[in-house]
Amino acid sequence: MALATLAGGCFWCLEAVFQQLKGVSKVTSGYAGGKRPNPTYEQVCTGTTGHAEVVQVEFDPAVISYRNLLDVFFTIHDPTTLNQQGADTGTQYRSAVFFHSPEQQRDANDAIADAQQTWDDPIVTEIVPLTQFYPAEDYHKDYYLRNPNQGYCRVVIAPKVAKARQHFFEKLKA
């Protein structure tokens, strides 16, 4: 198994999509990229910790490649908006790839170069080494699965899930 750590707005959105992919065994919402050890959701939301909301994706590279995960990532969020995804604003909602190896760093750079061809504005996604990952509080786990009718889930998350289904149907779990 391998790990990918990605930030693209609210971690509930990313978790909901990546959980559906073949080869993904686990998706953990959490925080990365900041200086405060063991941050809480409330602390991260202040924008003072430096952390982004992220998902850590455990996947089988024999079933789905890291590059495939990046292709999904760059399809389901807007990598051209700095510190924002839709109405969610602040540094905790920035777009970032936290790489685990030089190979992942190279793949991230290649994915950005390819994705840039589909976006009119420049991609602002950070590519930085993962130094520390802090799992989010338990109440964030499986948020969309547990709350599909909640307003945010219906208005923000469901369209991202639908977009992933449309573009990556063959990569979805049965």
Q: pLDDT for 80-137, tens place per residue? A: 999 999 889 999 999 999 999 999 999 999 999 999 999 999 999 999 999 999 999 9
List, in sequence order, every residue forming a beta bridge with 5; answer none if it has no partner. Answer: 56, 98
Q: Could you tell me the fold of the domain covering 2-171?
A: Peptide Methionine Sulfoxide Reductase; Chain A (3.30.1060)
pLDDT reported for residue 174: 57
- The residues spanned by each domain of the chain are 2-171
Contact 99, 135 (CB under 8 A): no
Among residues 10, 13, 45, 153, which one is catalytic?
Answer: 10
How do residues 30-48 score in pLDDT, each as one tens digit?
A: 999 999 999 999 999 999 9
Distance CA 27, CA 34 (A): 20
pLDDT reported for residue 44: 96
Distance CA 89, CA 58 (A): 27
Full-model pTM: 0.94
Which amino acid would we find at residue 135? P
Give the pair of three-digit tokens for residue 72.
């999904």
- Catalytic (active site) residue 45: no
How do residues 10-35 score in pLDDT, each as one tens digit?
A: 999 999 999 999 999 999 999 999 99
Contact 83, 10 (CB under 8 A): no
